Amino acid sequence: MAAERKIIHIDCDCFYAAVEMRDNPSLRDVPLAIGGAAERRGVIATCNYPARRFGVRSAMSTRTALQRCPGLVLMPADFLRYRDASRAIHAIFRDYTERIEPLSLDEAYLDVTGLPHCRGSATLMAREIRARIASEVGITASAGIAPNKLLAKIASDWHKPDGQFVITPGEIEAFMPSLPVGKLWGVGKATAARLARMGVETCADLQGWPLARLVRDFGKMGVSLHQQCRGIDARSVVSARTRKSLSVEQTYAHDLADLDACLAALPELVDDFAARLSRSDVAAERAKPVVKIKFHDFSQTTVEGPGAPTLATFAALLQQGWLRGAKPVRLLGVGVRLGDAPPASGQPDLWG
């Protein structure tokens, strides 16, 4: 009989801000955010907990964040230092398992099934890993421990910051019913709102729906919802992922008024992309050029086409995409998608 899976999800607390507070202790008790400048339409990447008490959140526009917290200390990202901290964290992970699936610089799944550390206790391993991150890297992390990835990620958010939470196999049946459906993997704001309109707020509500109805209304996602609302997730921890895309994008301080302005801004963006492509291991002959356009009203479109990722190809795609909205543009992106397989249903693709 196969051993019951033991999955740990580690998520560092406000990672970028935590590194800044570690290196400058005077920032620890003031509202702090990492992000772009308001006058350049910047977005908050992360913020510390004093800032969150004012309602500042990741992915919020910097302008809104400063309105909510006029005393907010705003700093640009320093990815060299963040990557150094990330390498140290992942080195700690490797002392416990080789089955590691990184999700970002500061977040990963660890499969510790059947491993001998800490007498085989995933709970003790998580506690020890968190203690080592605190002592060796100088920041805090939270952890979730569960029999699968879905529940481990949910659990890691339960006692944030600097805490951990365990969901054992025997607790799943009692744990799931009260869980909001928005906590499920792949359920974003739009899907959660759609479910709410259908009278579904919690997993208990969703459990009352037959599989056939979920498939009828949500397609393949319906099968996933039927399983997830019962705490079922068969996904494995995947140590290596195949790159599916490569891209760059730019949000402009002032809207690009028309197609000519977009075309004038394109060469600099393509040059940035070409430099990134040259540093990557991507084979250009396998790549399909893609252009992303976000209009001033936040509606957006992407256009994919054949050909090499050249300025001429991107310009042709840009013209095609701009005609779909024909209005001022706040953001342009160019990139390539690799291979022929379309992105999985419900999952973010090139710029997800």
Cβ neighbours of 157 (radius 10 Å): 14
The CATH 3.30.70.270 domain(s) of the chain lie at 7-13+80-166
Active site residue 107: yes
Cβ neighbours of 96 (radius 10 Å): 20
Q: pTM here?
A: 0.76
Q: Do residues 79 and 40 lie in contact, with contact meaning Cβ atoms separated by under 8 Å?
A: no
Q: In what order do the strands lie in the sheet with 329-338?
A: 245-256, 329-338, 287-295, 300-304
CATH class for the region spanning 16-79: alpha beta
pLDDT for res 283 = 66
Q: Indicate which residue of 39, 107, 201, 285 is catalytic.
A: 107
Residues of the chain with pLDDT under 70: 1-2, 241-242, 281-286, 339-352
CA torsion angle 338 339 344 347 (round to 10): 0
The CATH 1.10.150.20 domain(s) of the chain lie at 176-228
pLDDT for res 226 = 96
pLDDT for res 284 = 60
Would you state the CATH architecture of domain 7-13+80-166? 2-Layer Sandwich (3.30)
pLDDT for res 149 = 97
pLDDT for res 333 = 94
Q: How far apart are CA 101 and CA 95, in angstroms?
A: 14
The CATH 3.40.1170.60 domain(s) of the chain lie at 16-79
The CATH 3.30.1490.100 domain(s) of the chain lie at 245-338
Would you state the CATH architecture of domain 245-338? 2-Layer Sandwich (3.30)
pLDDT for res 349 = 35
Assigned CATH for 176-228 = 1.10.150.20
Length of the chain: 352
Annotated binding site: 11, 106
